[in-house]
A and B are shown apart, each in its own frame.
Chain A
Amino acid sequence: MSVSYSLLEQIIFESVHYVIRTVHSQSKVLDPEETNLRVKIATRFNEKEEKKKKEKDIEKDKEKKNENENQKENQQETVGNKKKDQENVPQLEFISSKTDIERNIINRLEIIGYRLGERTAERIAKNKPRFQEEVEKMRFVAKDIWTELFGKMVNNLRTNHQGKWMFQDDDFKLIRNISFTLSEELQNLNHQQNTRKNQQKQKQTTTTTNITMTESQKQILQSYLYIPCGIIRGALSAIGVECTVTGICEQLPACVFTAKIINKK
């Protein structure tokens, strides 16, 4: 089983790195799809100049980000752009507005997790007594599936008794060793956001081992959570519980997966 663990981890990490590369890539070599997207964005920008201001600002930021990626020099521009970024919608708008490619990738990651969860559940449920209640099924996922895949159990399992279940893992294996290296622009932006936040928070926070993150970092981390969401969904659907699963990571090693049960009536 130890051999299969490392293979599993490899597969997961490779697929997640694929996401990171395609969604947040800042390399000079762009896919033809991406260049087409950017051309479309540019033309849309020209058409909608007379329309709502919000759309205009977002697309301006997108274009500026593209320019920054392609050029990388001209400090005056970056300074000017930084100021505008702070004033208008920050760069995370680009990351969070889901393009078709992003949706496609998210879907594929989720399906990878789904299949994984289904098959793992089949294998493990073979030796388990029959599940009588919903609680038992959730516990099965929280304990057995998690130990099988990640070597530990979920730290906290809660419900709101209305079809919502939350799996909280304080030290999630797949994201434990993530550290952030961002490009200069994002770093500067985050640094400024951070200093503002830290000034506010210094009085409140005590020393913790968890790393607090900026919004953009959370956005990037989000992409690592799609596979585990799929795993939970697959395992539950194998047992017979249809649900939708979302994952949030507030502080770096700790994350929460929320499963909402779909009641067919």
Chain B
Amino acid sequence: MKIVSIAILGKKNNPLYVYVSNEENKRKFEYIIHTSLDFFEEKVPLISPLSKKSTQNQNDMYLGHLFPTEDYKVYGYLTNTNYKLVCIIDDSEIKEQEMKTLLNNLHTILVDTICNPFYITDEPITSKTFHLKILDLIGKK
């Protein structure tokens, strides 16, 4: 399983951080992330009061139709404070639990960055430590 892209979007759907494992396809992934925004809005009202994150957001627009050789699965995570985390995976085998822990850890890292007093909210995250932590997180998988 390979994580192809991770993105963090702010409250007004502005991108705060985008990580792409393959720089060539950056545009494509940004496009995918953009389209996934609709799914966030769709999924939110369906959530039961007890669960807090939007469950797996398997993008039904299987990009198979544009790229017949490749599949992508897009997972979404909506925090209580309206930050959206998107994770694109380049594989078909992944356990739900793994993805949940991954996004949970991502959320923790995000909260740590937000608590940084030098970080101005709603601005792109440019911290190197943040980037290194993300790479760590991905590197483990």
Interface residues of A (CB under 8 A from B): 115, 118-119, 121-123, 125-126, 128-132, 238-240
Contacts and interface: CB of A to CB of B under 8 A. Distances in A.
Contacts, number: 39
Interface in B95-115: 107-108, 111, 114-115
Contacts of B82: 240
A119 B115 contact: yes
A125 B108 CA distance: 11
Nearest to A235: B81
A129 B50 contact: yes
Contacts of A118: 114, 121
Q: Is the interface of B mostly helix, strand, loop or mixed?
A: loop
- In which size bucket is the chain B interface? 10 to 19
Contacts of B117: 115
Interface of B: 11, 47, 49-52, 79-82, 107-108, 111, 114-115, 117, 121
Contacts of A130: 47, 49, 51-52, 80
B66 to A, nearest CB: 34
B85 to A, nearest CB: 12
Given A121-B81, A122-B81, A126-B111, 8 more contacts: A119-B114, A123-B111, A126-B108, A129-B49, A129-B50, A129-B51, A130-B47, A131-B80
Contacts of B81: 121-122, 125, 238-240
Contacts of B11: 240
A78 B47 CA distance: 70
B52 A129 contact: yes
